[in-house]
Amino acid sequence: MNSVFVLIIGFIVAFVGYRVYAKYIDTKVMTSDPKKATPATMYMDGVEFMPTSKNILFGYQFKSIAGAGPIIGPIIAIQWGWLPALIWILLGTFFIGWVQDYSSAMVAMRKDGASFGGLSHKLISPRARIILLAFIYFYLLLIAGAFGNVVVSTAIGLKASPMAWLFMTIGGILAGQMIYRWRKDIILTTVVTVVIAMLGIWLGTIAPSDKIIGTDLANSRPFWAIMAFVFCYFAAVLPIWRFALPINYVASYIVFLGLLFGIIGIFVLHPDFTLPAFTSFSIRIGPIWPIMFVTIACGAISGWHSIVSSSGTARQLENELDARPVGGGVMFVEMMLAIFALIIAGTIFASPTDYGAAVAKGPGGVFAAGVSKFLGALGMPADLGKAYGSVMMIILAITIMQLVIRFMRIATSELLSDVSQVFRNPHIGTIIASALGLVLVLTGWWQYLWVLFGGANQLMASLALMLVTAYLMSEGKPSAWTFYPMIFMFVTTVAALLFTSYSLLQKVFTGAVTGEALVGNTLMGAVGFFLVIAALILGVEGLKAFNRYRNLRMQAKPTAA
């Protein structure tokens, strides 16, 4: 099948989903009212609660949710064939993905801008709140591990990427200095720092890492893993304006331009899919259900989005009608990003053997080869295109990773400061988070790590849908449109986590793994089981809440005369 045809199908699904289904839910079920005051207008504090234009929020939401997830998931999931992956991306987004992003924003908005912890306390139970927050900590750990692995495999597989990464860091630090210290013009700052980052990409092609630091170090996983976590350490302990945010600022231009021209390149080349539409129901990492459904996480549905929608976007929407374009609309754009990644993986290799060899080295190589091909259609030399693709992959992974380590530092302080004052120290919290992430990166097989991350991510999504369902029941509104997606996601993700954890721990108990793999399997398996137990407790609490709301509604009905 031709890739342009797949893109057109994607556009049609996005159009129908947004203009028909989302509009129906927004107007008839949630009954959005432009006259109703939103938390942003009611509680405006000029900081968190601030009415903001929907165009700005569209960009903010897109930037916050579009990380490495929608790209890596389809690249791995194409091992089952591109057709099941495409169907899940389209149907997942249409029936579940946008529903979760939009409804999380709406519920938070209707509940005075409350965050997830507060919402679960109010709508489900006090215990649900504590478990949810503990769940989030391990979820963040899996993000750090999975994305750290992507950074390491890309830095090793594509030797031009470390130089580009270094220059992007220099450009980012300079951007922070120019904006906040030297008070330079933003356009000048942007041009200077983006040019520095671009220069790094070009330098990477003429000075690859193995020529500078030697082959041994350039191929060393521990070395690049430590580099990644040192980077995250600075992002976590330095003031956010000095390191993390300006690097994200410069990086966003690199990613945005790459994606824009990459998609134009697809239209220019319009290649056919070369990989099979369907391979097998079961592959090395597991069966199509439930594993494929969690492998493609962010491109179909992702719990991360609900956190951004509720704690970030919902407090800035100036009008209830903006929730559909910002919450729902951005998810459909993310779906197109996942289709873009699927087209890359499905069209650039001559045979499944070539794909298998490339993906064994990590998803970064596959993505970079695709970006190189499609940017090549617009005249960019292949080696430069590959370096550009590799730094895009590193940016997409490490910009999320650095924020995750920063949040884990805060979480460590929040959760453990009562145990000992030492956990209040930001360096201690960061070192704990980095050490746990480092162990996962160095000892875990990346495909299992990705599946666990996807499972935790989508379990988070089903918990978000549980909160939304509880809200709808408490308000007496129709709740089937969130209840059934919640059940599907809950069963699928619990099954995926159980399957993966069992596979990992079985190897530990039968002595099939030793050394590093023993540590990695044990840690990943234990985290997976912990997430399942936490989710089951939350599920029981959720069911009790649903029954409570149902009974309340029954009691509220007037008796027949």
Site for other proteins, rule CB under 8 A: 43-48, 52-53, 55-64, 114-118, 121, 129, 133, 136-137, 179-180, 186, 190, 239-241, 245-246, 248-249, 252-253, 256, 307-308, 310-313, 403, 407, 410-411, 414
Asked if residue 447 lies in contact with residue 292, where contact means CB atoms within 8 angstroms, the answer is no
Q: How far is the CB of 230 from other proteins (least distance, A)?
A: 22
3-state secondary structure of 67: coil
Distance set, CA 40 to CA 48, 109, 317, 510 (Å): 8, 9, 6, 56
According to DSSP, residue 181 is labeled I
Nearer to other proteins, 60 or 484 (CB): 60
Give least dist CB 523 to other proteins, A: 22
Instruction: Give the shortest CB-316-to-other proteins separation in angstroms.
Output: 9
CB of 183 to other proteins, least distance (A): 13
Burial class (CB in 10 A: 0-12, 13-18, 19+), 554: exposed
Least Å distance, CB 159 to other proteins, is 29
Cα 177 to Cα 173: distance, rounded to the nearest angstrom: 6
Q: Which is nearer to other proteins, 159 or 324 (CB)?
A: 324
Residue placing its CB nearer to other proteins in the complex, 219 or 413: 413
Q: How far apart are CA 440 and CA 206, in angstroms?
A: 33
Burial of 12 (0-12, 13-18, 19+ CB in 10 A): exposed
Among 64, 417, 405, residue whose Cα is nearest residue 234: 405
| Residue 487 buriedness (CB in 10 A; 0-12 / 13-18 / 19+) | middle
Nearer of residues 43 and 484 to other proteins, judged by Cβ: 43
State yes or no: cis peptide before 222, omega within 30 of 0: no
**Rounded-to-integer distance, Cα 479 and Cα 500, Å:** 31
Q: Which is nearer to other proteins, 23 or 121 (CB)?
A: 121
Q: How far is the CB of 405 from other proteins (least distance, A)?
A: 12
Q: Minimum distance between the CB of residue 128 and other proteins, rounded to whole angstroms? A: 12
SS3 of residue 317 by DSSP = strand
* Separation between Cα atoms, residue 247 and residue 524, nearest integer Å: 30
Any bridge partners for residue 317, and if so which? Answer: 52
Counting DSSP H helices and E strands in the chain, the numbers are 26, 2
- How many other CB atoms are there within 10 angstroms of residue 167's CB atom? 23
The most distant pair of C-alpha atoms in the chain lies apart, rounded to whole Å, by 89
- Of the pair 94, 116, the CB lying nearest other proteins is at 116
Give DSSP secondary structure letters for 320-350.
GGGHIIIIIIHHHHHHHHHHHHHHHHHHS-S
Residue 51 or 276 having the CB closest to other proteins: 51
In the complex with other proteins, the residue whose CB is nearer, 49 or 202, is 49
Q: Which is nearer to other proteins, 115 or 279 (CB)?
A: 115
In the bound complex, what is the minimum distance in angstroms from residue 109's beta carbon to other proteins?
14
**Which of residues 60 and 530 has its CB atom nearest to other proteins in the complex?**
60
CB of 411 to other proteins, least distance (A): 5
How near is the Cβ of 137 to other proteins at its closest, in Å? 8
Residue 186: both structure tokens together = 């933003």
